[in-house]
Amino acid sequence: MGSDPELAGVRVTQPVPTRPAERATAEIGAAARSGALNLTGAAVSAVLGLLLTLAVTRLFSPSVAGVFFVAMTVFLIAEAVAGLGAGVGLVYTLARRRALGQVAGLRAVWWVAAGPALAGAVLVAAAVWFGAPRLAEQLVDEAHAAATAALRAVALFIPAAVLLHLAVSAIRGMGRTRPFVVIERFVRPALQLAAVATIGLGALGAAVAVSAAWAAPYLLAAVLAAAWAVRMRRRLERRAAVTPDPPTRTDWRSFWRFSAPRGGTGLAQVGLQRFDLILVAALLGPVAVALYVAASRFLVVGQLANQAIGVAAQHRFAALFATGDLATIRRLYQTTTAWLVLGTWPLLLLCLVFAEPVLGLFGPQYPAATAVMQLLCAAMLLGTGCGMVSMVLEMSGRSLSVLLLTIAALVVNVGLNLLLIPLIGLNGAAIAWLGAIAVNNLAPLWLLHRSYRLHPSAANVWVAVAATGVCFGLLPAAAAYWWGSPAAVGAALLGAVGYAAVLWRARRLLELTAFAAIVRRAGRVTAGAER
């Protein structure tokens, strides 16, 4: 019987190496294989997202762009509300069942998760549709009619977005990340960019048109992901030669005991990322929203890199906590933190140094948000430097703790926004976000260390921090201060050369040999195909 390429590397049970060091190396290698693919996907998605923002800011007026960004924000918050935390619950529960060899229970988990989440999606979509006039009045009253139409356009696709999230989460829980990358990082963003650009180039400048064009690709992506997830589950069941078990009360109770707090956490996390836009819209208007989104656009790269490595490692942390292997968890956490710093800090530091010319790419009005961009960069440097701390704590089963800490960060965010935006405008929103990021990362870090003695401080992390800080922060900043922007560009290029040299010299300490092995294998496969 031939092997199934879709399920290659997916096992019903995972053999555990006899020595902790061997298992840690195996887990890091596996995370690197998934992480390399996800980082590629994150890079593509980041470029497509940047091009989307450039298309919106260049092809539409700041007022129309602001209304669109408000509609997009409401859509993403509504999706988080409707999902009820079922996505992370699927990753957590399916990964644990696979690790324990309980393949017969996979389908039961899907039905326990999907029923309430999809019902909630329909209810939330109806609430947004019928509440659109009131929302528009509160958020962007100066463009009330346009905002109402835009909100109703995106409301139609909320159930599709929830189905997409459930399907890709199930795929990840079953041990595969490639479908997630293909659909969420390539297909959907590319379709959104193409649709929005078509609307703009066709001179259809209404906010409702661009909002509908952005939301519609969720439907196609959801159908693709759901079909892929069902196919994977059925093949896993056939491989294990089991009959699927029906859902039990225990399934419902255990799944939602974990996922219900995660639903609140997900909503609070989306609130941390998006609610400041709502407050900016309500207090300063849609043009300020467009400026704020442009200032934060490059920071999405940091979030996507975090998500990319998290997608690769999340189900591994869940399985490792299920077996109690803290030594492997510690090494995997520290290694993924080093990778996160290496992957995000260069761009974040360059955006901090070159904030004004970068914002000029969006249009002549946008460099006014230079200080905002610099503050947001500082926040992301802090957040990524702590690693995937909330996710690790969550995969330990402490979803309620993560919920409470995220709510605390959201309270800080909203409180500082309400206090500072009327006083100092967009800079106040950026300071509020910096404060919220500090709470949302340092508090879980303290709890993770107290509970499990886990922390991101290790030699590989400090090497990553020093290399990126000197090569992309200190060198170009000093050159810009003493000799101006042209010299800063030269210093950044020189720093890139030094950075590459450090990576090569410290490749074993940073576990970059895992990525190098993937590249070598890919090269051999390509060469064999050419022959």
* Predicted local confidence at residue 192, as pLDDT: 96
Q: Is residue 236 part of a domain?
A: yes
Q: Is residue 447 part of a domain?
A: yes
* Predicted local confidence at residue 511, as pLDDT: 83
Query: Residues 200, 205, 206, CA angle at the centre, nearest 5°?
Result: 130
d(CA 122, CA 124): 6
* Predicted local confidence at residue 203, as pLDDT: 59
**Max avg pLDDT among 102-106, 357-361, 371-375:** 371-375
Return the closest-CA partner of residue 297 out of 19, 462, 80, 57: 57
Q: What is the mean pLDDT of residues 79-88?
A: 86
Q: What is the mean pLDDT of residues 358-368?
A: 89
What contacts 151, CB < 8 A, 6 or more positions away? 71, 74, 128, 129, 132, 135, 136, 211
Judged against a pLDDT cut of 90, whether residue 395 lies above it is answered with no
Residue 141 or residue 220, greater confidence: 220
What contacts 353, CB < 8 A, 6 or more positions away? 472, 473, 476, 477, 480, 488, 492
- Give me 156's structure tokens: 């139609």
pLDDT in tens, 398-417: 878 888 898 899 999 999 99
Judged against a pLDDT cut of 50, whether residue 276 lies above it is answered with yes
26 confidence band (pLDDT: 50, 70, 90): low
Q: Is residue 81 part of a domain?
A: yes
C-alpha distances out from residue 102 to 29, 94, 112, 490, Å: 25, 9, 16, 57
Q: Is residue 512 part of a domain?
A: no
Counting the structural domains of the chain, the total is 1
* Predicted local confidence at residue 201, as pLDDT: 81
Q: Give the type of residue at 465.
A: V
d(CA 257, CA 259): 6
Question: pTM of this prediction?
Answer: 0.73
Q: Is residue 505 part of a domain?
A: no
Q: What is the mean pLDDT of residues 31-58?
A: 76
pLDDT in tens, 477-521: 999 999 988 899 999 999 999 999 999 999 889 888 765 444 344
Q: Is residue 499 part of a domain?
A: no
Q: Report DSSP state, residue 18.
A: S
Judged against a pLDDT cut of 70, whether residue 323 lies above it is answered with yes
d(CA 53, CA 294): 7
The distance of Cα 38 from the centroid of its chain, to the nearest Å, equals 11
C-alpha distances out from residue 205 to 145, 199, 221, Å: 14, 7, 25
29 confidence band (pLDDT: 50, 70, 90): low
Residue 345 or residue 395, greater confidence: 345
Q: Is residue 421 part of a domain?
A: yes
d(CA 108, CA 64): 45
End-to-end CA distance of the chain: 26
* Predicted local confidence at residue 156, as pLDDT: 97
What contacts 25, CB < 8 A, 6 or more positions away? none
Count of alpha carbons within 13 Å of 246, Cβ hemisphere only?
A: 2
Judged against a pLDDT cut of 80, whether residue 21 lies above it is answered with no
Rg of the Cα atoms in the chain: 23
* Predicted local confidence at residue 4, as pLDDT: 39
Judged against a pLDDT cut of 50, whether residue 98 lies above it is answered with yes
93 confidence band (pLDDT: 50, 70, 90): confident
Do the Cβ atoms of 232 and 371 come closer than 8 Å?
A: no
Judged against a pLDDT cut of 90, whether residue 163 lies above it is answered with yes
Do the Cβ atoms of 58 and 197 come closer than 8 Å?
A: no
* Predicted local confidence at residue 172, as pLDDT: 86
31 confidence band (pLDDT: 50, 70, 90): low
Return the closest-CA partner of residue 278 out of 388, 146, 462, 140: 140
30 confidence band (pLDDT: 50, 70, 90): low
Query: Which phi-psi region, left, alpha or beta, contains residue 10 (left: φ > 0; alpha: ψ -120 to 50)?
Result: beta
Q: What is the 3-state secondary structure (H, E, C) of 328-341?
A: HHHHHHHHHHHHHH
- Give me 483's structure tokens: 């000799």
Enclosing domain of residue 163: 20-457
d(CA 373, CA 417): 16
Residue 114 or residue 102, greater confidence: 114
Residue 8 or residue 305, greater confidence: 305
* Predicted local confidence at residue 519, as pLDDT: 39
Residue 244 or residue 334, greater confidence: 334
Count of alpha carbons within 13 Å of 488, Cβ hemisphere only?
A: 20
Q: What is the mean pLDDT of residues 320-347?
A: 88
18 confidence band (pLDDT: 50, 70, 90): very low
Q: Is residue 266 part of a domain?
A: yes
* Predicted local confidence at residue 498, as pLDDT: 95
Do the Cβ atoms of 194 and 213 come closer than 8 Å?
A: no
* Predicted local confidence at residue 11, as pLDDT: 38
* Predicted local confidence at residue 427, as pLDDT: 96
* Predicted local confidence at residue 205, as pLDDT: 64
* Predicted local confidence at residue 197, as pLDDT: 93
For the chain, what is the mean pLDDT? 84
Residue 213 or residue 46, greater confidence: 213
pLDDT in tens, 425-450: 999 999 999 999 999 999 999 999 99
**Max avg pLDDT among 104-113, 309-318, 419-428:** 419-428
Q: Which residue reads 């399916």 in tokens?
A: 94
